[in-house]
Amino acid sequence: MIRLPAFEYLKPRTVSDAVKYMSDRGPDAMLVAGGTDLYPNLKRRQFEPKALVGLRGIRELRGVRASGGGATIGSGTTLTQVATHPAVARRYPALATAAGLVSSPQLRNMGTLGGNVCVDTRCNYYNQTYDWRKAIGFCMKKDGDICLVAPGSSRCWAVSSSDTAPVLWALGATARLVGPGGERTLPVAALFRDDGIEYLAKRPDEILTEIALPPDDGWASVYLKLRRRGSFDFPVLGVAAAVRREGDIVREARIVLGAVASQPREATAAAAALVGQRLTSETITRVAELAAGPSKPLDNTDFTHPYRKKVTRVYVARALARLAGLDAGPSSYEAGA
Ligand SMILES: Cc1cc2nc3c(=O)[nH]c(=O)nc-3n(C[C@H](O)[C@H](O)[C@H](O)COP(=O)(O)OP(=O)(O)OC[C@H]3O[C@@H](n4cnc5c(N)ncnc54)[C@H](O)[C@@H]3O)c2cc1C
Ligand code: SF4
């Protein structure tokens, strides 16, 4: 059995105490919410903090507040609560779907929205035990110097594997961060960086406190996920699509791909090609082709990367067909489905 290393566990009751603990401990501390990703990573020595600042006891971080057509979701709200909240399901069905497709029921009961947004990037050469990683000489994401996927590269290409991140991006959500320097709000789209190691554009001591969703006025959204096992697996492709229509005509659109790069990737040309159009089969086929352009998976996660690239087009077409009412298939597909 792989054991957790020893660490000091701090239990703040307020966000300001959590900020103070993080600031006092400096780089030796990490935040933990549900711990469903961080604890396995600690067991594999992917992180070696001396202290953990636990967010579970902070009441102000929990809950969904729906008002004026929009909603604010505390970062400590569990994925089960997000997936089953009536206002989320009604106004932002893609978010309810994505939260409900994360891993397994047990992990959704512990795992939080904030932890899902900030979840570590993944790679076949990194999500391994310490001894496994040591046997192949480590890589630059932890303990080593080179990238084993792209040895000539000076950066890490680990994959953004959050189910909710592409959806929140597509819905135009904003994130509130609180740190030693005060608080700031930024679009979820600006929260991610295209780097497998420094994948978040937030300081390590900043706490994501809440996600705000704009009013759903006329928007419809959908999320589709590809994974090997339907019961519990990280996405190897996620497609979040949101459109605002007037009558039959699309007036605004966003398509964001998950698990094909180190950050969610927006298919801007494809979304632009939807504007002013009806969601007909012809439009969907053309737009899905365009949407596959930004999908650039590497050979560092499940399934072959040419396959993941190829099915991007298929999944975008299915997502748009769902929005058009032309397809009522499942939201999660296993290999070959
Ligand atoms: C078997 C298995 C299957 C999984 N399948 C999926 C899957 O299908 N899809 C998926 O998306 N994830 C999956 N996960 C990963 C994980 O369970 C989820 O991403 C979960 O939502 C993480 O939330 P958490 O609260 O447990 O985060 P934690 O593990 O507590 O933290 C994750 C990271 O986020 C940081 N963090 C947490 N909260 C905050 C905050 N408020 N502000 C700033 N930083 C914060 C932590 O410091 C840490 O770096 C899986 C994990 C396992 C073990
Ligand atoms: S992409 Fe390269 S550097 Fe990053 S985790 Fe994988 S092997 Fe390591």
**Cβ of 158 below 6 Å from ligand 2:** yes
List the pLDDT tens digit at each of the 337 positions of the chain.
Answer: 899 999 999 999 999 999 999 999 999 999 999 999 999 999 999 999 999 999 999 999 999 999 888 999 999 999 999 999 999 999 999 999 999 999 999 999 999 999 999 999 999 999 999 999 999 999 999 999 999 999 999 999 999 999 999 999 999 999 999 999 999 999 999 999 999 999 999 999 999 999 999 999 999 999 999 999 888 899 999 999 999 999 999 999 999 999 999 999 999 999 999 999 999 999 999 999 999 999 888 899 999 989 999 999 999 999 999 999 987 677 777 665 4
Distance from residue 302's CA to the centre of ligand 2 (Å): 14
Per residue in 261-318, pLDDT (tens digit) is: 999 999 999 999 999 999 999 999 999 999 999 988 889 999 998 999 999 999 999 9
Distance from residue 274's CA to the centre of ligand 1 (Å): 33
Q: Is the pTM here over 0.95, yes or no?
A: yes
Q: How is residue 27 annotated by DSSP?
A: G
Provide the pLDDT for residue 286.
97
Distance from residue 162's CA to the centre of ligand 2 (Å): 17
Q: Count of CB atoms within 10 A of residue 195's CB?
A: 16
Rounded to whole angstroms, what are the CA distances from 310 to 190, 297, 318? 27, 10, 13
**Cβ of 163 below 6 Å from ligand 1:** yes
**Cβ of 126 below 6 Å from ligand 1:** no
- What's the burial of 252, exposed, middle or buried (CB within 10 Å: 0-12/13-18/19+)? middle
Question: d(Cα 18, Cα 236) in Å, to the nearest integer?
Answer: 34
